Amino acid sequence: MRKLLARFAVISFVLTSALAAEPVKLKLAFFSSDRSTSYLAAVKPFVDAVNAEARGQIEIDTYFSGALGKDPAEQPQIVLDGRADIAYVVTGLTRNRFADNAIIEMPGLFTSMRESVAVFTRLMAVNALQGYEDYTVIGAYVSEPETIHSSVPITSLNDLKGKRLRVNNPGEAAALEKLGARPLLLPVNKISEAISNGSIDGALVNPASVVDYGIKRVATYHYLLGVSGAPLMVLMNRKTFDRLPKSAQAIILKYSGTWSAGRFVDTYEAVESSIMEELKSDPNRHVIMPSPSDLQTANAAFAAIADDWASKSERNAELLKAVRSELTKMRSIR
């Protein structure tokens, strides 16, 4: 009898140990495909690095093509309600939730993706932006300042008058309104269809999205007026993060923030440089740089939008001042 009990005890110990060794499974929601630049830049490096180092502790599974929720605008909520533990988020589609991100969307404020990503990452690191109390921020990214891609001729600011153009966020909408266009907030995965059926004339997007979302097939005019970047994030449910072992938390944080931002920028810059060369070399396309006078007019409109936003509250004014100060320091040491 004692031998039998001892055998049961050993079996129980082995089973308990095996169960204890099972990694915690985390679900990451991604509304597009595993071929998109957003996945390759923002999601894949983080997931691969964490899974490699946290083997046996945690394991992140990515669910593609909206398997956990198809609407890009609902990604922050599916993290909070438990359908996903982590999600890739386009914050411009849920401005009411992340109102302070308006400073990152500000037209004309940043000259490049590298600038905006660096500032966004630093702001998140010091908890300068509101709306993230229920999240652990894995990565804070920004696309290259988005330019205009259309199915109809747009070669100057004058051509924008009355054109129906997709925008990513209210900041871009304000900019296009000032320049005479008719902006429409629309998820990136709806653009190609909307241009095809005539609902819109074109869209503000970054070069990678022109390829990733089929916009290249329906837009042959590329007016390279950089307006503003689209804030993009990978967010994790804070309660889920807090329940993880400290060692697992440390691994996630190791591959978040600055580390993740660096991979994002390096990947996007390489992809977008190649895409722009392809667009420019295609004789069936029209790639137009804005004239000096168009740039002067646009920059004056962008500055007026920033000043108007800052005048609406003391907080807005402080955020704009802080970001401009950060940019001045960054640009002085180049």
Shared domain check, 234 and 224: no
Q: Are residues 291 and 263 in the same domain?
A: no
Identify the residue whose tokens are 């390096």: 266
18 within a domain of the structure (yes/no): no
Whether residue 252 is found in the same domain as residue 319 = no
Q: Are 116 and 46 found together in one domain?
A: yes
Domain check: are 87 and 192 in the same one? Answer: no
| Short-list 119, 94, 108, 97, CA closest to 174 | 108
Regarding whether 93 and 51 lie in a shared domain, the answer is yes
Pairing, β 24-29 against β 86-90: parallel
Task: Give per-residue pLDDT as tens, 235-279.
Answer: 999 999 999 999 999 999 999 999 999 999 999 999 999 999 999
In a domain, 10, yes or no: no
In this predicted structure, the answer to whether residue 222 has a pLDDT above a threshold of 90 is: yes
Specify the pLDDT at position 95: 82
Q: Which pTM does this prediction carry?
A: 0.88
CATH of the domain at 59: 3.40.190.170
The answer to whether residues 236 and 213 belong to one domain is no
Closest by Cα among 120, 105, 90, 103 to 260: 120
Whether residue 169 is contained in a domain is answered as yes
> 244 and 182 in one domain?
no
Residues 184 and 91 in one domain: no
- Are residues 167 and 125 located together in one domain of the fold? no
253, part of any domain: yes
pLDDT at 96: 87
Do residue 101 and residue 119 come from a single domain?
A: yes
How does pLDDT run across 97-155, given as a tens digit for each residue? 999 999 999 999 999 999 999 999 999 999 999 999 999 999 999 999 999 999 999 99
| Alpha carbon distance 157, 159 (integer Å) | 5
In the predicted model, what is the mean pLDDT of residues 59-85? Answer: 96
Structural domain includes residue 1: no
Residue 298 DSSP code = H
Q: How many domains does the structure of the chain reveal?
A: 2
CA–CA distance, 172 with 109 (Å, rounded to integer): 12
Range of the domain at 184: 147-228+283-332
pLDDT of residue 12 exceeding 60, the answer is no
**Is residue 3 included in any domain, yes or no?**
no
Same domain, 193 and 128: no
